[in-house]
Amino acid sequence: MAGREGSILLLMAMALNLFSSASTLTEWSPAHATFYGDMAGNETMYGACGYGDLFKQGYGLETTALSTALFNNGRTCGACYQIVCYNSKWCLKGAGAIGVTATNFCPPNYSKPHENWCNPPLKHFDLSQPMFRKIAEYKGGFVPVLYRRVSCVKSGGVMFEMHGNPYWILVLVYNVGGAGEVIDVKIKGSSTGWIQMSRNWGQNWQTSAQLLGQSLSFQVTTSDGKMVQFDDVAPPHWQFGDVFEGKQNF
């Protein structure tokens, strides 16, 4: 980006650095934002990342759905962003940057390529309504923004939610700090070595290993290459539907 617009973008990013205390993972980039759901966030629960009740899981209303260009087939689920309204009459005066976690997907509509900002290659954030209204007026509905990836700050340890059946285990990994974006998970029973899990969808990871009756440990790797090992997270009597908290986070 060059010329006057590029200069304004640079000055805006420099100004934002003055009030930002989050650890920066990427530089500021332009995108657009809308919102979905009501002020209670009912429509933002569950979704394409595999999370459930976002209030119980610690994400609350500070969430966003991502367009195809950002969602990366679910790999980006759990990533954290700072977003600020930029260069629009609908921006709230004096509003700073909001912090949100990616928990859902904003689907493209190829039959209406000029009416859907979630179509690739556009970078777009479909925010929860409360978060959108922290940076822009409700009647604006659609605004240009600046965004950047930042380190996720989460309370407590990484969480592991167990699903599946005796012949197939599905583990939802959530409340991940640091990069937030899990790219690899391994599981170990008390009677096995480390077993590679594969991504099923969002941040749900699967294996066909039969591990009932064994205590379970995990190795979780995030997109910045950091790996944390969680020993004996689940006791031998664990059951499907159980949720366990690791003793540490990223």
**Shared domain check, 110 and 228:** no
pLDDT surpassing 90 at residue 117: no
Could you tell me the residue range of the domain that residue 140 belongs to?
A: 3-150
In tens, the pLDDT along 1-34 reads 444 444 445 445 444 443 444 688 889 999 999 9
Q: How many CB atoms lie within 10 A of CB 82?
A: 21
Per-residue pLDDT, 12: 52
What is the C-alpha separation between 107 and 188, in angstroms, rounded? 35
* Rg, the chain, Cα only: 19
Alpha helices in the chain (DSSP H): 3-19, 68-71, 129-135
What are 195's strand-pairing partners?
187
The DSSP secondary-structure symbol of 92 reads P
**Shared domain check, 135 and 171:** no
Per-residue pLDDT, 201: 95
pTM to 2 decimal places: 0.88
Query: For residue 250, is it within any domain?
Result: no
Query: For residue 169, is it within any domain?
Result: yes
Q: What is the mean pLDDT of residues 233-248?
A: 98
**Shared domain check, 163 and 144:** no
In tens, the pLDDT along 58-88 reads 999 999 999 999 999 999 999 999 999 999 9
Q: What is the CATH number of the domain that holds 229?
A: 2.60.40.760
**Shared domain check, 49 and 9:** yes
Query: For residue 198, is it within any domain?
Result: yes
Q: Work out how many domains the chain is built from and give that number.
A: 2
Largest CA distance in the chain: 65
Confidence of residue 113 (pLDDT cuts 50, 70, 90): low
Query: For residue 204, is it within any domain?
Result: yes
Per-residue pLDDT, 114: 62
What is the C-alpha separation between 189 and 209, in angstroms, rounded? 9
Residue from 118, 95, 122, 94 nearest 108 by CA: 118
